[in-house]
Amino acid sequence: MITIRHRDERGVADMGWLNSHHSFSFGHYMDPNHMGFRALRVINEDRVIPGAGFPTHGHANMEIISYVLKGALEHKDSIGTGSIIRPGEVQRMSAGRGIRHSEYNASDKDPVHFLQIWILPEAHGLAPGYEQADFPAAEKRGTLKLVGSRDGREGSVTIHQDVDLYAALLEGDESARLALRPGRHAWVQVARGQVHVNGQLLKEGDGAALSDEEAVTLDRADEAEVLVFDLA
């Protein structure tokens, strides 16, 4: 079964400096029918104007992933991390028992466009942590590249939850397939372009929940960048 979450159905927050679309309930947007999917709690598509951003604030007991599509995002946190995240890079921050951080557009000229993803951790009170890895476009072209996992295998960032996160770049007759083990579920998020997911067309900003499916199949794409979550 595949259930599509159309982009126009998402919650919206427009603060001038920030334009954000929420696939699941977040902030002032509350929809009891869309509180997350399995361990996946938040997918926000954020656009931040030059020089603006999120001032220092706190989180706890959440795995937070930033995936930059365009521009550069500057991160600083209370465990001493300072970094800039660019397209192709994946950041994982474990809030654990408590962390404070800020996220700003690193440019005073160009906007930044990124996905902010929250995943419920497998345990509360973990030690806060940070990890960042680069995945060149060539590694994602025409295939599903593992970029996040519970055990950090294949150079992926470590997520403290039973989840595998893949990224793919697809165009034209390129296709990719992810077999799902019995009892597993998947969420597909189209970050840009469009692609057919198990025969159904999804466009930029669309998401889809898959349950009781043998596999996730991506094909007939038009300049698509896609994230696939393999979930317990």
pLDDT in tens, 132-185: 999 999 999 999 999 999 999 999 999 999 999 999 999 999 999 999 999 999
Nearest to residue 46, comparing CAs of 108, 102, 115? 115
Q: What is the mean pLDDT of the chain?
A: 97
Are the C-beta atoms of 228 and 206 separated by less than 8 Å?
no
What is the reported pLDDT for 7? Answer: 98
DSSP codes of every residue in 29-85: B--TT-S-BTTEEEEEEEEE-TT-EEEEEEE-S-EEEEEEEES-EEEEETTS-EEEE
Segments forming the whole domain that contains residue 157: 2-231
Number of domains in the chain: 1
Determine the residue type at 45: E
Residues 224-228 have a mean pLDDT of 98
Query: Band of the pLDDT at 1, cuts 50, 70, 90?
Result: very high
Distance from C-alpha of 49 to C-alpha of 19, rounded to nearest angstrom: 9
What is the reported pLDDT for 219? Answer: 98
Q: What is the pLDDT of residues 99-139, one digit of tens each?
A: 999 999 999 999 999 999 999 999 999 999 999 999 999 99
Determine the residue type at 60: A
Distances (CA, A) of 188 to 80, 168, 210, 216, 231: 33, 11, 8, 9, 11
Distance from C-alpha of 228 to C-alpha of 230, rounded to nearest angstrom: 7
Provide the percentage of residues in the chain whose pLDDT is more than 90.
100
Distance from C-alpha of 115 to C-alpha of 7, rounded to nearest angstrom: 14
| Conformational region of residue 139, where left means phi above 0, alpha means psi within -120 to 50, and beta covers everything else | alpha
Task: Give me the CATH number covering residue 203.
Answer: 2.60.120.10
Query: Band of the pLDDT at 30, cuts 50, 70, 90?
Result: very high
Nearest to residue 85, comparing CAs of 99, 71, 97, 64? 71
Residue whose token pair is 């979930």: 231
Query: Band of the pLDDT at 210, cuts 50, 70, 90?
Result: very high
